Chains A and B, each alone.
Chain A
Amino acid sequence: MADLLPPLTAAQVDAKTKVDEKVDYSNLPSPVPYEELHREAFMSLKADNFEGLRFDFTKALNQKFSLSHSVMMGPTEVPSQSAETIKIPTAHYEFGANYFEPKLMLIGRVMTDGRLNARLKADLTDKLIVKANAQITNEPHLSHAMFNFDYMGSDYRAQLQLGNSALIGATYIQSVTNRLSLGGEVFWAGVPRKSGIGYAARYESDKMVATAQVASTGAVVMNYVQKISEKVSLATDFMFNYFSRDVTASVGYDYILRQARVRGKIDSNGVASALVEERLSMGLNFLLSAELDHKKKDYKFGFGLTVG
Chain B
Amino acid sequence: MAAKGPLKLKFKAKAKGSKGGSNSTSSSSSSVSSKFEVIKDWTNWSLKKAKVATHYGLIPLIIIIGMNSDPKPDLFQLLSPF
Contact = CB atoms under 8 A, between A and B. Distances in A.
A64 B69 contact: yes
A264 to B, nearest CB: 35
A65 B51 contact: no
Contacts of A66: 66
A63 B73 CA distance: 10
Question: Which among A65, A108, A110 has the highest number of chain B CB atoms within 10 Å?
Answer: A65
Interface stretch (A92-100, A175-183, A265-273, A297-305): A92-100
Nearest to A134: B54
Given A134-B54, A136-B54, A64 B66 contact: yes
Interface in B45-82: 51, 54-55, 58-59, 61-63, 65-67, 69-73, 77-78, 81-82
A116 B66 contact: no
B54 A99 contact: no
A99 to B, nearest CB: 5
A62 B71 contact: yes
Which label, helix, strand, loop or mixed, suits the secondary structure of the A interface? strand
Measured as residues with beta carbon below 8 angstroms from the partner, the interface class of chain B is: 20 to 34
Measured as residues with beta carbon below 8 angstroms from the partner, the interface class of chain A is: 20 to 34
Interface in A56-113: 59, 61-67, 95, 97-99, 101, 106-108, 110
Contacts of A118: 54, 58
A143 interface: yes
A108 B60 CA distance: 10
A258 to B, nearest CB: 28
B65 A116 contact: no
A67 B51 CA distance: 23
Interface of A: 59, 61-67, 95, 97-99, 101, 106-108, 110, 114, 116, 118, 134, 136, 138, 143
Given A59-B81, A97-B63, A101-B69, 20 more contacts: A61-B73, A61-B77, A62-B66, A62-B69, A62-B70, A65-B73, A67-B78, A95-B59, A97-B59, A98-B62, A106-B61, A106-B62, A108-B62, A114-B55, A116-B58, A116-B59, A118-B58, A136-B51, A136-B55, A138-B55
Going nearest first, the 6 A-B pairs with the smallest beta carbon separation are: A65-B66, A61-B73, A97-B62, A136-B55, A108-B59, A108-B58
9 contacts: A59-B81, A61-B73, A62-B69, A62-B72, A63-B71, A64-B69, A98-B62, A134-B54, A136-B51
